[in-house]
Structures are given as structure tokens and as C-alpha cells.
Amino acid sequence: MSRTTATVAASLPDHWEELVTTALLGTDRRTPPGVAPGPQAPSALLDAAAAATVRRRAGLRPARPAERLRPAPEDPRPALPPAAARRLASLLADRPGASGGGRRGTAPDLMELLPQWLQAANARGYAAPPQALPALLDAARGRTDLRPAALRFAGPRALWLARLNPDWRFALRAAPGGGPSAPDPRDPQDIRRLWHEGLFAERVTLLTALRSRDAAAARALLEETWATERAEDRLMFLDSLRAGLGPDDEDFLERALTDRSRNVRATAAELLSALPASALAARMAVRAAACVAVDRRRDVPAIVVEAPHECDAAMERDGVVAKAPAGRGERSWWLGQLVEAAPLGTWPVRLGGRTPQEIVALPVGDGWQGELHAAWCRAAVRQRDAEWSRALLGEPSAPEAGGPGAVSLAERARLLAALGPGERAAWVAGFIETHGLSEAFQLLGVCAVPWAPPLGRAVVDALNIARDAGSYPWSFSGVMGLAERCLDPSEASRLDALLAVPDEPEDAAPGAGGYWSEAFQRLVTTLRLRGAMLAELASEEPAP
């Protein structure tokens, strides 16, 4: 230490804030105590700061040792094949904000392929590479639709990391057993402790996880505290009973019909109506059957409807909402709710032993057909009845594009969900062949991935027809995006003929052919990339 430093260190008390203030003001305006203004002042200030720094560090009291961080748990699953690990890194690097991801001309949108990659990796039981976990958690943080598959793939180490970084705490809420106070699933007392003492989110997670393992135990836990829960909490808890709903839940749901919350009563009634053998379903069947009959006096049998004239207290208890929405007639509103909640097995018995197809084909008098068929649609969706869904959908080539019972594309999409994957794909393919792609987007969204060959061919042919029409491809961007994710990669070879810029007809939009060529190039590139990434995942099967 120099003589000046020693002098300053000896004359200065360790006033760190005073030194900081002097540095901010500058030694031209202020000098350290005991130092004369002049050219030596800046050096003296720095010497004083250095001496004070040493004194401050040397004067620290030893801190209590922190608990040593526990190592991350082992992941026993097999490691990814090297090529698949490199592919994962490239998919994660393309996420928005990482490298300007998104559409880039003919380049594939890699982030949109990540959900499919995760699904395939999970199906093969691979473990996530440790170095990929931060990027994987960041991707799941930004996209809630990725979270279930991403957290399953990330495994136990993701939860270990999430406890160290507040940005990833969503993983603790989303993953069963992720909370800091997660109970031992084999310890009933531990489960009851969390149920009675945990936060609301922890209790919902607990109830959902327990319901998947032991429906009766989850219901018993809910009954313990049902009377003291808040109305909004009761509604959320009740909704968890949808998973594994069965006849054993009926008694509890019947008691919930008298709940003081209207929303809870309505949800309980909806769940009971999804149990065709429940007492509520039987009561609704009696009410609905009293409103609908076959008039055999006509030359052609027809359905006649006499809607309810009142909504009594018993109907309200069973979930019928008395007040109709604005612009809706009360009687038609009540009728729709009764028919929707009645078991579909009611109608063949009530309407002369006819099949669902025959019932739907009957004319309905006095303008009630739309209301009656719409209610049957909702009942078929709720009860997941394939035969009634098939009847209400009708033939895909029907002039009105939806059969006699469907009231909207959204309703048709829900009806399709009750059919098997093959039948669903065949119906949508027939719809596209007859009506084109303009109304097919919602229907395509419910088809299994990859699309079955007939559906894939129908989509490609319809896109080709749209291209030849000379319009811009932008109105089909949604279908094109679905095709990139859902078309079977083997279809790429069929698209090679569409990559060239076509000759544009005279009435074509300027430059439309070039835009179509670019769109098809992106589609082909994406399909081949999907084929490659699936082959990479299948190159080394995990050990049994």
C-alpha cells in the first residue's frame, strides 16, 4: 500500500456511502475528508475506496452454511437416439423469441412440429436430454398446449429445476405430485392433510390425480368438506367427476341437485343426464316423451311436438333453467333442455320401434324439426352415442352438407367425435369431395393424426382444385397449416407435381400461381421433415 493510501486509510472512517457520493459528484466539487483538492484527489478517492472495500470484506461475519442442494433425481428411461436429440434441439431453437421463429417463405414452422415430436417421443418412452430441459420448460411456459406432453417428456428432473426457477413454477402446478407438499399416494393421512390444509390449486390437482386412481376415494374426500366449500370451489371440484363418471357417483350428484348454487345444480344435472340409467335421466325421459309422439293419422307418419307449458319446481331441481335467453321462446327453450337430457334409448321405444335413422328421417310438424333435431344432437354428443351421431350427421354428400339433424359445423364436428377414427375420416373425406374445403376446417380438426389415406387424398385434391381456380391461397391457410401437421408424410411424393408455378388463367389473381407454389413447397418440405424426425425416433427402440 502506498504512503498516500495508508494516510487516507488511516484518516478515513469506513463510510462507504460518503465515498460513493463523492464519486458521483466528482472530486472537482467534493474531495474525500483529509484530502486537499487538486490533481491527486481522484487517485486518493480510488485508494480510499480500495481500502474501504478490503475493510468491508474482511469485516463480514461468517454466514450460516446453506443446506446443500440435493441432486436431481435419476430418470430411468432410455436416452434419445443422437439424431433425435439433435432434432429436438433444432425444434426448440425455433421457438418464438429464440431465433425469430415463425413462417419463413418455404421453410417449415418447426415450433408447430414440436407437439407431434413430443407425442412420438413419449410413445416410445424416451427421457429428455438434461441439457434440453431449460429450453423445453421455456417452450412449455409460453404455450399451455405443450405443457402436458412437454412435462411428461421432461420427467422428474423438470420438477427439480422448477423448484429452483420461479419462471418454471407452472410445472409444479401442472404435474401431478409437483407441489412442494405432494402427498404420498399410499398414505391416506397424508392425502387428507393436503385436502384439508392445501391451497386450492393443490387440492384440485390432488382430487384430479386421486380420481384417476380411485374414483370412490376421491368422491369420499370431496364429500368430507362439501358443505363448507365455497360455491365456485364446489363447481370446480364437481367438474373433476367427469373423469371416470359412473353409476356410483349418482347418489352424490343427486344430493348436489339441491345445492344453493345454480351453477352447481346445473353441472350436477348435466353429469346425471350423461348416466342413462340414472333416476334423473328416467325423470327427464318421462317429461320429454310426453312432449313428442308420432301422428299415425296422416298418410305419411310424422312427429308431433307439444312443448311444455310451464317449468315447475321439479323440473328446475333437475337442472332445467326456467328463464329463456333473449330472443328465445320459453316453451322451445324448455323442450330443448328436456330432450337433451333424456336418454336416447327413450325414442325408439316411444316412436314405434324405429331406428335412429328412421326417426331422424320422419317429418316434424309445426316447424319443430330444427329445435328437436338440435336437442338430439346435443344429447348424442353428451352421451357419446355413435348410432345417433351417425343418423344425425346423415350422408356427407347431402345437399345441405350436414344431414337432417346438424345445425352447424361446430355441431357436426362434435357429432363426428363419437365415431371411430376410420369412419370419421371417411365421412370428412366425402364431405370435402362434395363441398370442397371452404367449410371443412372444423371437421378436419377432429380427425385422427396422421390423416387416413382417403382423407389425405381428398384434401390434396381439393387444394389442387383451389389452385387451378386461380385465387390466392391465403383463404386456405388454415387447412394448409393443418395439412402440414396432419397429412401422412408418405403423401409428399404426390405433391411433387404441384411444386411448379402453374400457368395462370386469364381471370386468375395476379401472382397467385407463385404463392401456391411456395405454399406447396413448404407443405412438401414439412412432410418430409416430419417423416425424417419420426424415423429418427424409431431408429433405436428403448429397452423393455
Q: Where are the beta strands (DSSP E) in 134-218?
A: none
Residue 533 has pLDDT above 70, yes or no: yes
Angle at which helix 453-468 crosses helix 421-435, to 10 degrees, equals 20
Q: For CA atoms 130, 132, 138, 144, give the dihedral sign.
A: negative
Cα pseudo-dihedral 245, 248, 251, 255, rounded to 10:
-30
Q: In angstroms, rounded to a whole number, what is the distance separating the alpha carbons of residues 324 and 344?
A: 24
- Alpha helix stretches (DSSP H) within 71-132: 82-93, 110-123
In 3D, which of 214, 167, 218 has the Cα closest to residue 194? 218
**Per-residue confidence band for 523, with pLDDT thresholds at 50, 70 and 90:** very high
Residue whose C-alpha is closest to residue 244's, from 210, 278, 276? 210
Indicate the burial class of 484 (C-beta count within 10 angstroms; 0-12, 13-18, 19 or more): buried
Q: Report the distance separating Cα 414 and Cα 426, nearest Å.
A: 16
Q: Distance between CA 491 and CA 457 in Å, rounded?
A: 8
Is the pTM higher than 0.75? The answer reads: no
Length, in residues, of the chain:
544
For the chain, give the mean pLDDT. 86
pLDDT at position 402 over 50? no
Supply the pLDDT for residue 348: 96
Residue bearing cell 429428455: 128
Lowest mean pLDDT among 56-65, 104-113, 124-133, 146-155: 56-65
Are the C-beta atoms of 454 and 426 separated by less than 8 Å?
yes
pLDDT digits (tens, 9 = 90+) for 170-222: 888 765 545 444 555 567 888 888 898 888 877 888 888 888 888 898 999 99
pLDDT at 324 over 50: yes
Q: pLDDT at position 81, please?
A: 94
> pLDDT tens across 7-21, in order?
444 444 457 788 888
Residue range 449-486, pLDDT digits in tens: 899 999 999 999 999 888 888 888 888 888 999 999 99
